[in-house]
Structures are given as structure tokens and as C-alpha cells.
Amino acid sequence: MKRFPPVEITLPWKVADGPPVTKRLIFTGPRGGHVWRTSLNEDVWKRALASAGVSPSKSGGSYAKTRESGMHALRHFYASVLLDAGQNMKALAVYLGHSDPA
């Protein structure tokens, strides 16, 4: 954090048109703003998976779409870790943005 200090970003909170809230972000996008899900997935996550040999390398301008190693798999891993740590389903649903724990 000394080398790359957090950046203050103000965005709507909880919903797209929610009240603006300012937070300090540790991870930022290439231009210093917040990280976009799509750019993180394509520019960072899939490149790292390909470099590690987990998924196919870039071909024809984009990385292969792999459900088992993409962001959705990371989301499932996060949920599994929380459940294994004893987190309850209702809280997990809130963390993942679901309106219903079922």
C-alpha cells in the first residue's frame, strides 16, 4: 500500500442509482478508477489462467470462454469458502447480491 496507495472513488452504493458513496480502493483499473468486471475478467483473470496453463491461451483476439475457470467459478469458490467457514446462507445470499437465499 506504500508503493500503490489506495485511491478514493465515489460511486452509487448498492444500486445503480443509489446515493454516491466515497471509498478508498486498493485495486484500481488501468486509468486509476474502479475496476470493471469485464476488463478484470478479460485483461487480468483470463490472462493469468492462460499463463498458469489452467485455460487455453488467447486465440483469434479473445480468450476461450470457460465456465469452469472463469469469474463465475471464482464466485462459486468464494461462496464455498464462506459456507465452509460457517457463514449462513442468508448472509451469503446478501454478499452475492441475491434477493433470496434459495
pLDDT band at 42 (very low <50, low <70, confident <90, very high): confident
Say what the pLDDT of residue 52 is: 87
pLDDT of residue 20: 92
Cα 19 to its chain centre, rounded Å, is 22
Residue 102 has pLDDT above 90, yes or no: no
Q: Model pTM? A: 0.54
**Residues ≥6 apart with Cβ < 8 Å to 25:** 6, 7, 8, 9, 34, 35
Once rounded to an integer, what is the mean pLDDT over residues 20-49? 81
* DSSP-based three-state secondary structure for 92: helix
CA neighbor of 75 nearest in space, from 95, 91, 56, 54: 95
The residue-averaged pLDDT of 28-36 equals 78
Task: Give, in degrees to the nearest 5, the angle at Cα 76 between 74 and 44.
Answer: 10
Q: Note the pLDDT tens digit of each residue in 77-92.
A: 999 999 999 999 998 9
Lowest mean pLDDT of 1-5, 33-37, 46-50, name the range. 33-37
Looking at the predicted structure, is the pLDDT value of residue 98 above 80?
Answer: yes
